Structure 1
Amino acid sequence: MLLPSTASAQDGSVLLEADVDGRPVGVGTLVLDPAQTARVSITVRNNTNTVQRVKTVRISGTALALTFFTYDTTVPFDVPPKTSETRSFPLEPTDLGSQALGLLPVTVEVIDVQRDSIASVGTTGDIKGSLWSVYGAFGLGVLVLTGLSWAGALIALARRRLPANRWQRAMRFLPAGIGTGLVAVISLSVLRLVAPSPTAEIPFIVGAAAAAFILGYVTPHPGGQQPSEVDTVRIQR
């Protein structure tokens, strides 16, 4: 998938092609192993009428709108109008194992001298990291908080300490549902089944949140069965 830059439509666009160890970025899964040095090659196609001045090539991995790793390599070169330029460089992601693992969206982009993105290409990366990486620790933290949230809500239910209002009871269960959705998204990523993306994240998170909300809404009244107006007897003295 090639992503053009923000150059004006009348001047054309800038396209980026990249490959890692001879495998095109955007076709299949990009494997990044911290134990191996990767050879990165980029080609910038300048279809605009102005010179594009590339300063940095950035490779980054994100999930849930958070960036978990970024590698900036300074590769300064100019791309004249209506031409293309190719550059290659080694990438040594030695600390990648402590930053992420599993399937993550990865972006390769070229940055100009003003630190603005000229063009980018995205793909799914298979990160050969550790469970104790930043991403793994983030997932474990979400799991613990979700467990505590469920425990608090269920203990309050068992002890009849939930709010009397149905909507308030539903809101008490909502954070646990959101956490469950996040745990599902991260787990699928770590297990290399599904990479985090809006199309994958939203159904899991919204679905789990809705289920927890409904569960809280239908929980019984903490005071037990309440007498109805028909059962109420007024005793006059």
Structure 2
Amino acid sequence: MNPADTARVSITVRNNTNTVQRVKTVRISGTALALTFFTYDTTVPFDVPPKSSETRAFPLEPTDLGSQALGLLPVTVEAIDVQRDVIASVETTGDIKGSLWSVYGAFGLGVLVLTALSWAGALIALARRRLPANRWQRAMRFLPAGIGTGLVAVISLSVLRLVAPSPTAEIPFIVGAAAAALLLGYVTPHPGEQMPPSEMDTVRIQR
């Protein structure tokens, strides 16, 4: 899908029921990480007789698509009836020729910045020995950075047109990165206990 070109869309709706299905609108939407980044509704009214199929073609001009999405995204095509109910749908993968500064691209950059800040905060706390003494609390300190790393991987693969976001692709990356971050936080060295106040006073007197 290129914002500079007019797309020619052709759909075939098969009616397996015993009643006429009246299609009013065809909706094309792109979704990633449970978020919808673009939607196009085109009025294409036609009837599909029982136990038969109908094919319709129509032009689609996604002129604003460049500011909405980029890379490989799951795309859903839906046939909607006069009551605004979805009567048929199919899922596919779309190659979106958008901009890095689109909504999806900006979302990915935002996740990248937050992930970098999470890693920086955790590592600085580790270097200054300010992490919690409890191992599981230290592990949880690294968890947001791990989740962010998984999200960055999923979005990057999508933008680079290598793998489209989907549950089968998202879950292994996010869960794997989160598990690695948890393990890293769990095995970090103990920050050490502070000396009791009486010992600290003794040190001050000696000095």
What TM-score, normalized by structure 1, do the two folds share?
A: 0.80
Q: Which residue in 2 is equivalent to 1:168?
A: 137
Note if 1:81 corresponds to 2:53: no
Deviation at 1:109, TM superposition (A): 1.1
Change (3 A) 1:161 1:233: closer
Stretches of structure 1 lacking an aligned partner (at least 5 in a row): 1-31
Query: In structure 2, how many angstroms separate the alpha carbons of the residues matched to 1:231 and 1:218?
Result: 33
Q: Please point out which of 90, 104, 107 is paired with 2:76.
A: 107
Query: In structure 2, how many angstroms separate the alpha carbons of the residues matched to 1:178 and 1:224?
Result: 30
Q: Which residue in 2 is equivalent to 1:196?
A: 165
Query: In structure 2, how many angstroms separate the alpha carbons of the residues matched to 1:133 and 1:48?
Result: 41
Change (3 A) 1:103 1:87: same
Query: In structure 1, the residue corresponding to 2:198 is in which secondary structure?
Result: coil
Deviation at 1:232, TM superposition (A): 19
Q: Which residue in 2 is equivalent to 1:149?
A: 118
Query: In structure 2, how many angstroms separate the alpha carbons of the residues matched to 1:125 and 1:72?
Result: 16
Deviation at 1:50, TM superposition (A): 1.2
Change (3 A) 1:49 1:228: farther
Question: Could you report, residue by residue, the CA deviation over 1:200-236 in whole angstroms, capped at 9, with x for unpaired residues?
Answer: 1111100000000000001111117999999999999
Deviation at 1:160, TM superposition (A): 0.9
Question: Could you report, residue by residue, the CA deviation over 1:61-83 in whole angstroms, capped at 9, with x for unpaired residues?
Answer: 11111111110001112212122
Change (3 A) 1:224 1:193: farther
Stretches of structure 2 lacking an aligned partner (at least 5 in a row): none
Q: Which residue in 1 is equivalent to 2:149?
A: 180
Question: Could you report, residue by residue, the CA deviation over 1:38-95 in whole angstroms, capped at 9, with x for unpaired residues?
Answer: 1111121112101111111001111111111110001112212122222221100000
Instruction: Choose between structure 1 and 2: higher helix proportion.
Output: 2
Give the 5 Å matches for 1:4-43. Answer: 32-43=1-12
Q: Please point out which of 37, 42, 51 is paired with 1:68.
A: 37
Question: Could you report, residue by residue, the CA deviation over 1:5-36 in whole angstroms, capped at 9, with x for unpaired residues?
Answer: xxxxxxxxxxxxxxxxxxxxxxxxxxx00000
Query: In structure 2, how many angstroms separate the alpha carbons of the residues matched to 1:185 and 1:82?
Result: 41
Question: Could you report, residue by residue, the CA deviation over 1:177-222 in whole angstroms, capped at 9, with x for unpaired residues?
Answer: 0000000000000001111111111111000000000000011111
Query: In structure 2, the residue corresponding to 1:145 is in which secondary structure?
Result: helix
Change (3 A) 1:225 1:161: closer
Query: In structure 1, the residue corresponding to 2:132 is in which secondary structure?
Result: coil
Query: In structure 1, how many angstroms separate the alpha carbons of the residues matched to 2:183 and 2:141?
Result: 11
Change (3 A) 1:223 1:114: same
Query: In structure 2, the residue corresponding to 1:231 is in which secondary structure?
Result: helix
Identical columns (%):
93
* Corresponding pairs, count: 206
Q: Which residue in 1 is equivalent to 2:201?
A: 231
Change (3 A) 1:122 1:83: same
Query: In structure 2, how many angstroms separate the alpha carbons of the residues matched to 1:153 and 1:176?
Result: 8
Query: In structure 1, the residue corresponding to 2:203 is in which secondary structure?
Result: coil
